Amino acid sequence: MAPSTDSNVKDENSQVSYKKDINTKTGRILQNKKHSNDIFDVIEYLQSEKDKEIIFATNACKRVFCQLFYRGDLYVGDLPQEEELMSGDRSAEEKYRIFMRHRYNNCVELLLENMGHEAFQVKEASLCALMKFVEAEGKHPLQNLDLIEHYIFPRELLRTLVEHLLSTEEDMSLLISRFQEFLEMDDVRYYVMSSVRDNIYRVMGRNKKAVIPVYQNNVYTLLSNINVPSQGSKIKHFLVKQAYRPEEWKAGKLKEHKRAFEQMWLLFLKFKLPSSMYKKILVILHESIMPQMSDPTLLIDFLSAAYDIGGAISLLALNGLFILIHKHNLDYPDFYKKLYSLLDPSIFHVKYRARFFHLVNIFLSSTHLPAYLVAAFVKRFARLSLTAPPTALLILLPFICNLIRRHPSCRVLIHRPSAAEEPCDDPYVMEEEDPAQCHALESSLWEIKTLQKHYHPDVAKAAMKINEPLTEQEEEISEVLELSTFELMERDLKAERKTIPLEFDTATELLKSPREVLGVHFSLE
């Protein structure tokens, strides 16, 4: 134990010493230009092994350089090489500025590097310091502004920052969520959007359009954090105040924001994405992306590509397509045919089942659909129901009944008195892709008949309904859309029962019962 305490003491000593050291040095730098060489020591701390030292040094740098910005002690304009510093004939003051500017650049580089540090605190401190510098640079531009029209914003610094934020090797989602705070500022957001666009273009171009999951995930995290304000009047919150004609500044216009947002997303979606990314994007697409775009119809390429992928992604793409069809007058050929081909056993097991059924319910709610189409859907759903879990069946069975109610010509599926008593093959062709060719209208819903023997009482009851003429009133399926198995289980667990029937032949052993199956295949030992 002793050595550890020793080391603790040492640690404390060193802690105290580095704090004192940094503090005295920063004090001296700011007090007297003679001590400006101390900045090297402070910057050196940024490369320290210890997180605390780095953080402390980062804060110190932030303080020092902000002060220098304020004083105007940083060189403005094109920076001469440090080697040339001595050769040129400059005043000592100017030399000092150039020197400090070089140190500032060093510091920024190190901070950007530190954004890839392992410790989050370090990353966070670096990010905050850099943003502080962005703010300071915005107030005291380091470039010579010969043109007055130029709006002052440290684009270059922000661009490099974004570049580091969107790492291709590391998941930066935590830092990006920290960065969100700065995205509240409208000008920052605007310039981030444009720099992200550049960045995607460059990175993806470099990678020859191959999938880079980590990078794309980072981009997605950043993009999904960007929210364009709904009204132009709300754009007031700037990091850098513009003195000259702020109303004409691009960063102050909603239209420009929307355009930047749209271009950024379109560029991102243009490249091939991993399938999990597709799902993530499609989940939020209709809620947080489409309304913020100036022209959502531009998403049609992405959506139809996603719709063609198949499986859960197609299901999710439906939602976006629906909005486009519904609100933006998109004409989608063979929409129902594609929807029909989407139906396979996996739709009951995906996470987005509720959303899917909600949409299908909307798609098939029109009473002007042809009977053969509805019948094809009904029959296919019925066939698929043979593999569905009870929670899905509780959606599916009322849904099928509703469809038949809406389309009385489909009633032959459950009631065909003309051909009663004559056994026939099922004319329905499951493999047929085209709903018009699958002969669903000539079939009957024997599958529902089968489900009347389902083990769950509610399902069996729902299936029983086809035995008798359906009631006029449609059943509400929105209540059961989100029903989980456990909720279904709780219904029975919570229900009050007066009597509890018991098995009447009492068991004597674990694997001995009148209808033993487990004991046939398994033994206790």
Partner 1 sequence: MMRKQQTFSRGLSDKVRKSKAAPEIQKNPFEVKINRKKFDVLGRKSKHDVGLPGVSRSRAIQKRKDTLLKEFRLKDKNNTFIDRRFGEYDSKLTPEEKILQRFTLERQRTQDRKDMYNLNEEEELTHYGQSLAEMEKMTDVIDSDSDSEEKGLLSAELTATHFGGGGGLLRKKSAGDDEEEEHKPRSRQELIEELIIKSKQEKRERQTQKEEAQELTEKLDQEWKSIQNLLAHKTPKAERTDETDKPKLDQYDMMVRELGFEMKAQPSEKLKSAEELAREERQRLQTLEADRLKRMMGDAEEDAVQTNTHISADDMNDGFILDGDDRKTLAYKDGKWNIEGEEEEKEDEDGDEEGGEEEEEEDDEDDAEGEEDDEEGEDDDEDDADEDHCDLQSDEGSEDEDGQGAEEEQVCAEEPPAVSEEQKKAAQEAAKAELPYTFPAPESYSDLKQLLQGHGSEQQRLILDRTLKCNHPSLSAGNKAKLQKLFGFLLEYVGDLATQNPPDLRTVSALIPQICGLCQMFPEAACKAVQTLLSDSGHSMEETLEVKGRAPMPDLDMLVLLKITALLFPSSDFRHPVTTPAFLFLSQALTRCAVVSLEDVCKGLVLCCLALEYVSLSQRIFPELLNFLLGLLHLTVSDKHNMGYTVVSPFRRQGKSCDLLVLKDPNVSHSWNRKPISLQTAHRLPAQSPVERDHYRLSLIDSCLDLVKRCTWLYKDLPSYAHIFQPIRALLLKHLPVEGYPAPIQDLHREILDAIPEKPSQHAPLVFKKKKPIPLKLFTPKIVQILDYGKKRGNTKEEKERERLKHKYKREFKGALREIRKDTRFLAREKLSDVMSRCVKRKVKELYGSLATQEGEWKALKRKNRK
The CB-of-382 to partner 1 minimum distance in angstroms stands at 9
**Which pair of tokens denotes residue 384?**
């698929």
Taking CB under 8 A as the rule, does residue 2 contact partner 1?
Answer: no
Least Cα distance to 252 among 234, 226, 227, 225 occurs for 234
Which residue's CB is nearer to partner 1, number 136 or number 445? Answer: 445
Tell me which of 345, 365, 476, 478 binds partner 1, using CB under 8 A. Answer: 345
Q: How far is the CB of 417 from partner 1 (least distance, A)?
A: 5
Question: Of the two residues 110 and 339, which places its CB atom closer to partner 1 in the complex?
Answer: 339
Contacting residue, 89, 118, 331, 421, with partner 1 by CB under 8 A: 421
Among 32, 467, 471, 478, binds partner 1 (CB under 8 A): 467
The stretch near partner 1 (CB under 8 A) out of 27-35, 216-224, 432-440, 516-524 is 516-524
Residue with tokens 């995205």: 183
Residue 513 lies near partner 1 (rule: CB under 8 A): yes
524/299 Cα distance (integer angstroms): 60
Query: Residue holding tokens 């775009």?
Result: 293
Q: How far apart are CA 357 and CA 19, in angstroms?
A: 62
Question: Of 98-106, 335-343, 355-363, 515-523, which part binds partner 1 (CB under 8 A)?
Answer: 515-523
Closest CB to partner 1 among 127 and 347?
347
17-25, 85-93, 197-205, 409-417 -> range binding partner 1 (CB under 8 A): 409-417
Which of residues 78 and 504 has its CB atom nearest to partner 1 in the complex?
504
Q: How would DSSP label each residue in 169-207? A: SS--HHHHHHHHHHHTSHHHHHHHHHHHHHHHHHHHHHT
508 interacts with partner 1 by CB under 8 A: yes
| Angle, helix 390-406 to helix 371-384, in steps of 10 degrees | 160
Residue 472 binds to partner 1 (criterion: CB under 8 A): no
Burial class (CB in 10 A: 0-12, 13-18, 19+), 318: buried
Q: Is 49 in the site for partner 1 (CB under 8 A)?
A: no
3-class DSSP assignment, residue 512: strand
34 binds partner 1 (CB under 8 A): no
Pattern 297-336, partner 1, x by CB under 8 A? ----------------------------------------
User: Considering the rule CB under 8 A, would residue 351 count as an interface residue with partner 1?
Assistant: yes
Between 174 and 518, name the residue whose CB sits nearer to partner 1. Answer: 518
Shortest distance, position 55 Cβ to partner 1, whole Å: 32
Residue 199 CB partners (closer than 8 Å, separation 6+): 159, 162, 163, 166, 219
For residue 134, the tally of other CB atoms under 10 A from its CB is 22
DSSP assignment, residue 294? S
- Asked if 468 is part of the footprint of partner 1 (rule: CB under 8 A), the reply reads yes
Q: Are the C-beta atoms of 165 and 223 separated by less than 8 Å?
A: no
Residue with tokens 């550890």: 4
Count of Cβ atoms closer than 10 Å to residue 507 Cβ: 11
Torsion 49-50-53-57 (CA) sign: positive
Give the CA distances from residue 51 to residues 9, 45, 114, 167, 457, in Å, rounded to whole numbers and listed in that order: 18, 10, 10, 21, 62
Minimum CB–partner distance for residue 384 and partner 1 (Å): 10
276 near partner 1, judged by CB under 8 A:
no
Which one among 302, 360, 447, 480 touches partner 1, defined by CB under 8 A?
A: 447
Residue 346 binds to partner 1 (criterion: CB under 8 A) = yes
Angle between helices 173-183 and 155-165 (to 10 degrees): 150
Query: Among 219, 444, 462, 477, which residue sits at the site for partner 1 (rule: CB under 8 A)?
Result: 444
Q: Does 423 bind partner 1 (CB under 8 A)?
A: yes
Output the smallest distance, CB 444 to partner 1, in A.
4
Given candidates 136, 161, 466, 477, which one binds partner 1 under the rule CB under 8 A? 466
Applying CB under 8 A, among 113, 177, 419, 434 the residue interacting with partner 1 is: 419
Concatenating the DSSP letter of every residue in 212-264 gives: -HHHHHHHHHHHHT----SSGGGTT--SS--SS-GGG-GGG-HHHHHHHHHHH
**CB of residue 274 vs partner 1: minimum separation in angstroms?**
15
> Considering CB under 8 A, how many residues would be counted as binding partner 1?
80
